């Protein structure tokens, strides 16, 4: 069984945001899969997806602070600067974190660990809505 | 053909550890797949999986040293500090390296390059056993 | 439907290179898949794959400059130094960016965003040809 749909995510502020519940609400098809995989792919190059801690919001705040430290704005070696100081760092952060996550499906639901959630990582200052392609497969 | 199982990995010290042989020993089902994919997913947010050099142990030691340099403990901007100095860096390293790897299957075995192995990346000082979900599919 | 093939990529200079068109030219089988996934896996530990901006070459140049800054050569803590100053950083960059990308397939083609392309990230100074394993599945 294959299923693919595009989901338009609400625009969010620059930072790291939990979207696990939002994804599940858009994916009633999960319930029909006993064993399978969910592939979630963001169609952008300045936002990304990752999986991390789902409970304490300071984790997500520290992600934003550390990534700004590890991939700073206004580095003298940047040449791609026309779209703003946040643009080139956004491309780099997106590649470091990744464009997609793949999650096992078991008994009609994401088979995540207790403390795991899916993050939408928004790396631009003024981003509009982002689109993800979700591909579900299984039996 | 779909197959999914959880494997409990032995507890390891903080650092980077080869687990290719251990995974293969737990996956006799690989032999029945001619062409397919293996998805290996760790159900934790302070340990991760990656694929890298399988021969020289100094590579794995340098991974530990460089990740400690790139994602240091005790950064003044960390707010999530209650669980110890190694905790927030562990979440960050896990997101940078990733929660899962997907490996092609060919003729009943992982289709890896000669020098490739699967690493369990343990980012906590005192971690217990970690669980991975392995999903095999193919024909 | 499953399909797996190895593609030998041309040798490239150290840096970040768009290979989307090259991959599509080697994959006429894409056309027979309505809904599916393409998994592209590089069989090496000092080169990697990622997805990022496909238009402005300065983005790819800034990737090279930033990764050299974030993962410098000749760090005093490196022990794996026998194969040259570019070797250990190459392993680290490969793990940060990743060994594979998975792309949704829709209507016989990669379902990428408008600005997305696949990058071959060559981290060695004098690399020869690299091999990728492409696994297509779908219906």
Give how far B24 is from chain C: nearest CA, Å: 18
Give chain B's mean pLDDT. Answer: 98
Q: Is A129 part of the contact surface with chain C (CB cutoff 8 Å)? A: no
Complex prediction ipTM: 0.98
Give B103-116 pLDDT, tens digit per residue: 999 999 999 999 99
Tens-digit pLDDT profile for residues C13-23: 999 999 999 99
The string of pLDDT tens digits covering residues C27-67 is 999 999 999 999 999 999 999 999 999 999 999 999 999 99
Question: Please, which pLDDT band fits residue C121 given cuts at 50, 70 and 90?
Answer: very high
Confidence of residue C83 (pLDDT cuts 50, 70, 90): very high
Give the per-residue pLDDT at A100. 98
Taking alpha carbons only, the member of C49, C43, C7, C53 closest to residue C27 is C7
Please give the interface size between B and C, counted as residue pairs whose CB atoms are below 8 Å apart: 91
Note whether C107 contacts B: Cβ–Cβ < 8 A: no
Residue range A89-117: average pLDDT?
98
Q: What's C76's DSSP letter?
A: T
Q: Which of B41, B94, B95 sits opposite A104 (nearest CB)?
A: B41
Which residues make Cβ contacts (< 8 Å) with residue A32, sequence separation at least 6?
A1, A108
For helices C87-97 and B87-97, angle between their N-to-C axes, nearest 10 degrees: 90
Q: What is the pTM of this model?
A: 0.98
Q: If phi over 0 gives left and psi between -120 and 50 gives alpha, with beta otherwise, what is residue A102?
A: beta
* Angstrom distance (rounded) from CA B46 to CA B42: 10
Strand B35-42 with B15-18, pairing: unpaired
CA terminus-to-terminus distance, chain C: 6
Q: Is C71's Cβ below 8 Å from some Cβ in B?
A: yes
Q: Which residues of B touch A61 (CB under 8 A)?
A: 79-80
pLDDT-based confidence at C102, cuts 50/70/90? very high
Assigned token pair, A27:
């994916």
Q: Which CATH class is domain B7-73+82-138?
A: mainly beta
Confidence of residue B33 (pLDDT cuts 50, 70, 90): very high
Work out the pLDDT band at B41, boundaries 50, 70, 90.
very high
Backbone φ and ψ for C21, nearest 5 degrees, come out as: -65, -40
Q: B133, A104: Cβ pair inside 8 Å?
A: yes
Q: What pLDDT, on a 0 to 100 scale, did the predictor assign at position B25?
A: 98
**C53 vs A: CB within 8 A:** yes
> CB-based contact (8 Å) between B74 and chain C?
no
């Amino acid at each position: 069984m294959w299923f693919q749909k595009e989901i338009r995510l609400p625009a969010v502020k620059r930072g790291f945001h939990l979207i696990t519940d939002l994804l599940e609400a858009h994916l009633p098809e999960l319930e029909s899969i006993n064993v399978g995989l969910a592939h979630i792919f963001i169609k952008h190059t300045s936002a990304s997806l990752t999986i991390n801690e789902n409970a304490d919001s300071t984790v997500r705040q520290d992600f934003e602070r550390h990534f700004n430290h590890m991939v700073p704005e206004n580095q003298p070696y940047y040449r791609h600067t026309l779209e703003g100081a946040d643009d080139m760092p956004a491309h780099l952060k997106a590649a470091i974190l990744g464009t997609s996550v793949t999650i096992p499906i078991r008994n009609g639901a994401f088979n995540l660990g207790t403390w795991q959630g899916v993050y939408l990582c928004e790396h631009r200052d003024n981003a509009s809505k982002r689109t993800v392609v979700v591909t579900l497969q299984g039996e």
